[in-house]
A and B are shown apart, each in its own frame.
Chain A
Amino acid sequence: MHYPWWYVPSLTSPMLIAMIATIHVFVSLYAVGGGIVLAGEVSYAYKVNNKSLLDYLRSHTLFFILLTVVFGAITGVGIWWTISLSSPLATEALIHIFVFGWAMEYVFFVLEIVAAFIFHYYWGRLDPKVHKTIGWIYAVSAYISLVLITAITAFQLDIGNWTPDKGMWVAFFNPQTFPQIIARSGASLLLASLYIYLHAAFKLKDNAQLRALVENRTSKWAMAGAALVTVGGAWWYVNLPESAKAALAGASALNILTLLIFTASAVVFFMLYFGPYRNPGWLNPGFAILYFVIGIAATGTGEFIREGVRKPYIVYNYVTGNNVLISEIPKLQATGYLNGGTWTKAFMKAHYPQVFGTDGNIDGNKLLQLPASDQIKVGEVLFQYHCNDCHSTRGFSGVAELTRGWSKGMIHTVVTHLDKAHFFMPPWCGTEAEATVLTEYLQSRSEPVPEGMKFSNINSRENTLAEKVGRGEAEK
């Protein structure tokens, strides 16, 4: 709230983070797992002096570089871009806590890039021992970058014993760090294997013997990955904060997705066991594509759940989903959300100077004396800065639909008791007068109950009852 809010119609700007981050994870996990598998397999191929396997791995390395060094690296930078645009306050906090963690990650990025290019471009020209070492330099660097970034995302879910006066290490070793590292390590190996299957299914279409070898050897990495995902996932769940467990249990979308991820994981596991592990040679392009799609679906779902259960925080117990520092909430509730926001206050000063009192702050009474149309406009400002992080007006999680058929009293009750109505929403961070103008705005956008519904009369009765309840709450 100390920064201007970026309004993206219909979608909400944080959804851009989700889009970029999910796409990035598909490739970045491969960048880590693929590096480990390539280093391991190249070492094996040198050991047994299998030239045809080395040739295949060389061709896979180019595919790997084209995907990870270009798309993976730039979408990774893209996450930074989007979080700074869509969640600037949370980003500001994370950067100040983890700046040296990110700086260390940068060192390993540079090592990754240099090692990856030398590994590929000097293939066959370097001494095998040096070549293998460079492969492992890449693998270790990539893995350390996974560890560093996972600790930061884990911290977002549970800050553990960290308080603002404590340094980076307390934040780094939070209860979620190790479970997530294990789960992601497994996911990286599993996903890397599916990428290799996809590539090998096309590249080695006419070389059944080599394809079977690649299939069988890769399946061992994949099985190890699946085991790590299971262990890490279970530990992740056990270590979840209560709010996250409740979100997982309470949100129907998350229920379905959790079921989906377990089903997809089980399907991949059985396909791996009965396919490449027990019966190498089954792999064909269609099978590999199916594998890959299921793997991607499981990974994407996992990431969605990981993000979803964090609500109502961006950083657990420190920054709320609508970019408010927890420590600032009492003051905002006392003196007003519009007063507390740098840009909201400047906007109000420029457009509604008449609502400011002699103390330089917005006076609630004066706010309510504005003409009805202006109250709605001020309500829209509140909506943008307080609600638009998660809700659009019409579109993604649109309030027009969510409040369909609600009376003004119901809306007002929910606005003033956001965290009570839904524990995964942040509390109302404004004054009573601000709640009233926000209610006016939401009421003006709310859709009516759909026409023609058989129980529309019942709805009307419920609305009346709810209105009474809402009015009662408002009067309190």
Chain B
Amino acid sequence: MNPQDLIGPFSPLGNPAPFWFITFFKVFGFILHMIPMNIWYAGMLLVAIFATFGRNHSLELAHRLSRSMPIIVAMGVNLGIVPLLFTQVGYYQFYYPAGILMAYAWFSVIVILIFAYYGVYVYSLSVKNNKHTKLALASAWISSIAFIFIGFLFANNFSLMANINDWIHIYNKTNVAGAALGTGLNTADPTLIPRWLMMFGLAITTTAVYIAFDAAFFKKRDTSPLTGSSTSDYKTWAGKFAFAFYTLGMVLFAVMGSWYIFGALEKSTFDQLSQNSFMYIIFGLTAVSPGLVWIAMLLQRKGVKRKVTIFAAILQFVVVTLNAVSRQWVQNLEIFRFKNISELPVNIQWSPMILFLLLFVIGLAVVGWMIAKIVAVEKSVA
């Protein structure tokens, strides 16, 4: 079987927007999704660990994280719609077959996510109502494990999308009279594990920055009912912990990233990457950018500082952005080898596109207005 034979034809409808526009919104949407997703991905595990073994400040951190987690998950799930939408517009010939080959696992994401999300609520409400039951603790653990497993399934589908050679092996092993049984997984792909854990490393770093940000901006001036200690004690502890946690994430990111680039990536892709100087710079920046945030976190190891935290958050946004851009670049290299999907004729839908962009801006303004109102409430309380 020839992998080229498994790639379907272009849509006769043409692309509703130029390919660059589709890719831009796919990447932009992914960046916006990644920030909250990173926080629940690593953050929920932290909640479970500290809720079980934590004392004083670490337990307080678990409670603080869990209280904001329902909102973070809601935002992340919704922000995930955009990259998924534009993936289906531009990359359908690869996204659909990959999903179908591992259909049961992919379908299970929805079921697992429902349980994970309700688990978040169970723990969060137990903290809010000060009822620390075993069920709540179990829910936190179930949610955290479920999120990490969902990450594994996502890594599977999105790596399989570009791993067309392995479609054949999976299809041959799991078809019933030519129809996919949907029981495959991309586990034979050497990039799978480093991709999955690289994202987990990145998630730890984003969560660490969030912890510092939360302590710097959202921690009210009061005495903690849990620890009996003051706000400044918590802020000092949070700065120290966030720095350590960031270091852990950065190391994991560096190790898995190195494994991915130097040990798992196909040689031809690696060669293409190293031959293009612009890509070389982007990948170099992707690799070193967490180091800059690490320095900003280092400066806060004796206590979070608002200005430095803002700086760290902006830098972390750049880290996430570079990561998304690099991932897209690799994906395009891997896919374009089989089919240049940017060649599909464009049939631009101007007025819907303009209306969408207009609504996007208006939507941001309305969200900004609502946030301004709650910030005013918070300020008046402080």
Q: Which residues of A contact B (CB under 8 A)?
A: 2-8, 13, 16, 20, 66, 69-71, 73-75, 77-78, 80-82, 84-85, 88, 91-93, 95-97, 99-104, 106-111, 113-115, 117-118, 121-122, 125-126, 130, 134, 137, 164-165, 167-169, 325, 327, 342-350, 377, 380-381, 383-385, 388
Contacts and interface: CB of A to CB of B under 8 A. Distances in A.
Interface stretch (B79-87, B233-241, B284-292, B319-327): B79-87
A84 B96 contact: yes
Given A6-B180, A106-B78, A96 B13 contact: yes
A104 B359 contact: yes
Contact of B5 (A96, A103, A125, A346): A346
A164 B178 CA distance: 31
A311 B374 CA distance: 50
A232 B331 CA distance: 47
A88 B100 contact: yes
A82 B181 CA distance: 15
A350 B12 CA distance: 28
A5 B178 CA distance: 8
Interface string B70-92: 11001101111110111011001
Contacts, number: 222
A115 B349 contact: no
Interface in B1-34: 1-2, 5-9, 11-17, 25
B182 A85 contact: yes
Contacts of A82: 107, 110
B351 interface: yes
Contact of A70 (B17, B117, B353): B117
30 contacts: A2-B93, A4-B171, A6-B103, A6-B182, A7-B177, A20-B110, A70-B74, A71-B114, A82-B107, A84-B88, A84-B96, A85-B99, A91-B88, A96-B89, A104-B352, A107-B362, A110-B79, A111-B366, A117-B71, A122-B374, A134-B373, A167-B349, A167-B352, A342-B7, A346-B5, A347-B175, A347-B178, A349-B1, A384-B176, A385-B178
B16 A100 contact: yes
Contacts of B262: none
A75 B359 CA distance: 25
A113 B79 CA distance: 10
A168 B5 contact: no
B363 interface: yes
A173 B349 CA distance: 15
A100 B182 contact: no
Given A342-B5, A380-B177, 13 more contacts: A8-B182, A74-B110, A74-B117, A81-B99, A99-B16, A104-B355, A107-B359, A109-B81, A114-B371, A125-B381, A134-B370, A381-B177, A381-B179
B95 interface: yes
Interface of B: 1-2, 5-9, 11-17, 25, 70-71, 74-75, 77-82, 84-86, 88-89, 92-93, 95-97, 99-101, 103, 106-107, 109-110, 113-114, 117-118, 121, 171-172, 175-182, 347, 349, 351-353, 355-356, 359-360, 362-363, 366-367, 370-371, 373-374, 377, 381
Contact of B373 (A7, A74, A126): A126
A439 B14 CA distance: 37
A106 B85 contact: yes
A80 B95 CA distance: 13
A77 B81 contact: yes
Given A69-B74, A91-B88, A99-B17, A346 B180 contact: no
Contacts of A383: 177
B363 A108 contact: yes
Contacts of A165: 347
A93 B88 CA distance: 10
A7 B363 contact: no
Contact of A122 (B107, B362, B377): B377
B5 A114 contact: no
Contact of B100 (A3, A93, A126, A168): A3
Given A108-B363, A383-B177, A384-B177, A167 B351 contact: yes
Contacts of A130: 373
B181 A103 contact: no
Contacts of B121: 66, 70
B179 A384 contact: yes
Contact of B179 (A4, A78, A121): A4
Contacts of B79: 110
Contacts of A327: 12
B97 A4 contact: yes
Contacts of A6: 100, 103, 179-180, 182
Going nearest first, the 8 A-B pairs with the smallest beta carbon separation are A2-B8, A100-B352, A7-B179, A384-B179, A380-B177, A78-B110, A381-B178, A88-B96
B82 A99 contact: no
Nearest to B182: A6
A91 B79 CA distance: 20
A249 B15 CA distance: 39
A33 B289 CA distance: 47
Contacts of B101: 4
Contact of A85 (B5, B14, B106, B347): B106
